[in-house]
Amino acid sequence: MMTYAAAAALVAPFPSPSPSSTSLLSLNSAVDVVEVQPNQDSVYKWRLVLAYDGTRYAGWQYQESPPTVQCAVEKALIQTTKLPRKDLQLVGASRTDAGVHAWGQVAHFVTPFNYENLDRVHMALNGLLPSDIRVRETSPASAEFHARFSVKSKIYHYKIYSDTIMDPFQRRFAYHNMYKLNTAAMREAAKYFVGKHDFTSFENASHNDRVPDPVKHIFRFDVKEMGALLQLEVEGSGFLYRQVRNMVALLLQIGKEAIPPDIVPYILASRDRKELAKYSFYLPPHGLCLVSINYNESHLLPPPDCPAKSFGMHHTIRKCKVVYY
């Protein structure tokens, strides 16, 4: 079995499978997935696009307890591939926080074998996953592709429902605001975030050992009104821990006209999280959704001798054979 270190070192084109050896793997007694056994030195990388309702999960990142999205996906992959967790090396593009949702989370994993068809793999994974997590797309990935390090930009949406009475169908995916908001002031303030800035003031203390670069590039920050629903859309090269929620929380205070729009550059320049805390407040995670992730186009090119990507299998109704009288 090939180690991940050796797999990561491979930058050659996608290896060609050996046509002389095939095997049939039965998955959950429901679907058969044909895998082609390659040479011992081969490694294959696969990309997943995932959507999930983050309500009952402690975020994406793997933890022993409580449950996380990565845990659920790994469990399905282990059952599908019959490989141990350490060999799959599942990596997610974004470590979404507890309660945060996703429509376009991206992850990759590796196997020592190739597949002839990804539709059945796709079906098997969704058959094993809980109903609040879905694989939207399964595709082969080049050796150069990395779910996290190949990212060019990420797009997040935060939804705010502004009305005296909360829409019960929005309660799990939008923050309820009962104040009248000055959206023009919010748009003016959002423009100050656009560009390359040090966002130290908007980062919460993180529990991991990584020391992230506080300088991020925000490409756009739009405030869109859709009736009672206000959708804040932000695209950036990357984000610090809870940065998006902290930016939105400040814009909400500006929308309530508690503080002026030009306070944004002042707080950015302070590079002090305590300065933001004087004007802002805690914003819950359920209004936030990771919508999509953009990558270097060269890293998305399909490798040779690989199966076509899968968007899921469509079922058809066969012609009814019942005789009508």
Strand pairing category for 44-52 and 101-111: antiparallel
Any idea where the domains of the chain sit in the sequence?
Answer: 19-149, 151-291
Segment 248-272 mean pLDDT: 97
- 77 burial level (CB within 10 Å; 0-12, 13-18, 19+): buried
Transcribe 208-230 into DSSP letters: SS----SEEEEEEEEEEEETTEE
Architecture of domain 151-291: 2-Layer Sandwich (3.30)
To the query of whether residue 209 is one of the catalytic residues in this protein, the response is no
CA distance 122 to 117: 9
Q: What is the pLDDT of residue 106?
A: 98
Transcribe 134-153 into DSSP letters: EEEEEEEE-TT--TTTTEEE
Q: For residue 176, which of 186, 155, 192, 162 has the smallest C-alpha distance?
A: 162
Q: What is the pLDDT of residue 223?
A: 98
Q: Identify each DSSP E strand in the chain by its residue range.
A: 22-27, 31-36, 44-52, 91-92, 101-111, 114-115, 133-141, 151-162, 175-177, 195-198, 215-226, 229-236, 288-295
The pLDDT of residue 21 is above 50: no
151-291 matches 19-149 in CATH topology: yes
Catalytic residue among 97, 119, 222, 272: 97
What confidence category does residue 316 fall into, taking pLDDT thresholds of 50, 70 and 90?
confident
> What single-letter amino acid sits at 306?
C
Tokens of 125: 């994974």
What confidence category does residue 36 fall into, taking pLDDT thresholds of 50, 70 and 90?
low
Query: With contact defined as beta carbons under 8 Å apart, do 53 and 105 qualify?
Result: no
High-pLDDT (> 70) share of the chain, %: 84
Q: What is the pLDDT of residue 18?
A: 38
What confidence category does residue 8 fall into, taking pLDDT thresholds of 50, 70 and 90?
very low
What confidence category does residue 25 fall into, taking pLDDT thresholds of 50, 70 and 90?
very low
What confidence category does residue 207 fall into, taking pLDDT thresholds of 50, 70 and 90?
low
- 292 burial level (CB within 10 Å; 0-12, 13-18, 19+): middle
The pLDDT of residue 27 is above 60: no
Tokens 């470590």 found at: 95
Model-level pTM? 0.85
Question: How do residues 142-162 score in pLDDT, each as one tens digit?
Answer: 999 999 999 999 999 999 999
Question: In sequence order, which residues have a C-beta less than 8 Å from that of residue 87 and are 6 or more positions away?
Answer: 1, 2, 4, 110, 111, 112
Domain 19-149 CATH assignment equals 3.30.70.580: yes
Segment 99-115 mean pLDDT: 97
What confidence category does residue 11 fall into, taking pLDDT thresholds of 50, 70 and 90?
very low
Residue that wins the pLDDT comparison between 30 and 277: 277
Averaged pLDDT score across all residues of the chain: 88
Question: How do residues 213-248 score in pLDDT, each as one tens digit?
Answer: 999 999 999 999 999 999 999 999 999 999 999 999
